[in-house]
Structure 1
Amino acid sequence: MKKTITLSTEPHEAEIGPHRLFFQPEMYGDEFLDAYSQLQDVQKTFSGGDVESMSTDQLRTLYSQMRRFLSRLMTEESAAEFLRFVVRDAAGTVLSVHTELEKAEAEAARLDGAGVADESMRLPDRVLVELLEWVVEVYGGGNRPTGSSNVSAPASSRGGTGGKGRLPSRASTRAVGVSAP
């Protein structure tokens, strides 16, 4: 008896408006779980994980960690587009570019008169949450990692206007979210 198991070799792709982000084809379970665990630890630090009771600063930290988590799963090129911290001198000349804010700040502190500009990809919070949920499905094999997550956005609106026409068949379903080939 022979069992053949294939490994994904093509990156996963998320198309978000004009942006295309590519994620690593395969992720070792421990790498994924370590990254996911860090995100959950940050979330639990604030208000026991209750997003609605978080302060603005706490939410910024949480969303920053969500972005960091996502970038860890991306290909190097997509991560560099998604998280981009630019170190410039006083004249505005680019000295270096980083995907981690801490490294950019350390570089700027080392250079006299240098500063850091966040030129990361801007996406609405609901898109970050959808992307987060999608990568958990992709790398979690359709199953969420153990532990609950309260980092959920409300469902996207259905769009259009309500009417008095007949309802569609109950057998039809509506697809929502980011899709990958």
Structure 2
Amino acid sequence: MRKSFALQTEPHVADIGGTEFLFQPEVMGDEFLDAYAELRDAQKAKGIDLDNLADADPSDIRRSARAQRVFLARQMLPDSAKLFLRIDVVKDDKVLKSFQDLEEAETYAAKQKGARIVDALRLPSRVLVELLEWIVELHGGGGDARPTTSSSGSSTASRPVGSRGTGRSPSKASTRTRGR
């Protein structure tokens, strides 16, 4: 007996507002699990109560969001990851300097009176969550984890075995009306 397994060779593409981010076609299981464990640990370590964000430290919330970005970037191809992780230190709507590392950006911003840190690629939280779900499904063995192929590459459906049943359809649209 012989069994063949397909491997995804083309990068997965996430189009976010017209910007395409390329994700690795395949991620080794241990690498994915290590990155996912780091994300979960980072979320737990912050102890953020999502029902009470008013009492949460803004820097903890920022670090938690950053952990999500780092996890996603680890699944991306290098150029996409670089853009996705870029942090700008901004003052008076001008970018003073860009960074990849949050701590370096915070250190630099602290030395610049009136400067603040912003993600170069600002995204709504829901997009980050949707990306996380998609990547976990893609590489974590979810329902759509197999490589995608074009519909023309699919085989046609098999004919049903046996004779057609004579039972009534539960759909009113396909059920004949009595007396006709």
Measure, in 2, the Cα distance between the counterparts of 1:93 and 1:134: 32
Distance 1:53 1:38, change over 3 A: farther
**Equivalent in the alignment of 1:78:** 80
**Equivalent in the alignment of 2:61:** 59
Measure, in 1, the Cα distance between the counterparts of 2:65 and 2:106: 19
Q: Is the Cα contact below 8 Å between 1:51 and 1:59 reproduced in 2?
A: no
- Residue by residue over 1:25-48, the C-alpha shift from the partner in whole angstroms, topping out at 9 and shown as x without a partner, is 11011111111101101111233x
**Equivalent in the alignment of 2:129:** 129
Measure, in 1, the Cα distance between the counterparts of 2:19 and 2:121: 9
Question: What SS does the corresponding residue of 2:51 show, helix, strand or coil?
Answer: helix
Q: Which has the higher contact order (CA 8 A, sep 6+)?
A: 1
Alignment TM-score, normalising by the size of structure 2: 0.61
Superposed displacement of residue 120, structure 1: 2.4
Q: CA RMSD in A?
A: 3.2
What is the letter of the counterpart of residue 101 of structure 1?
Answer: L
| Structure 2: unaligned runs, 5 residues or longer | 144-170, 172-180
Q: Is the Cα contact below 8 Å between 1:83 and 1:99 reproduced in 2?
A: yes
Instruction: Calculate percent identity across the aligned residue pairs.
Output: 46
| Structure 1: unaligned runs, 5 residues or longer | 144-168, 170-181
The number of aligned residues is 135
Superposed displacement of residue 117, structure 1: 6.3
Measure, in 2, the Cα distance between the counterparts of 1:105 and 1:59: 14
Question: What SS does the corresponding residue of 1:80 show, helix, strand or coil?
Answer: helix
Superposed displacement of residue 17, structure 1: 1.7
Alignment TM-score, normalising by the size of structure 1: 0.61
Larger Rg: 2
What is the letter of the counterpart of residue 22 of structure 2?
Answer: F
Superposed displacement of residue 134, structure 1: 0.7
Measure, in 2, the Cα distance between the counterparts of 1:50 and 1:94: 33
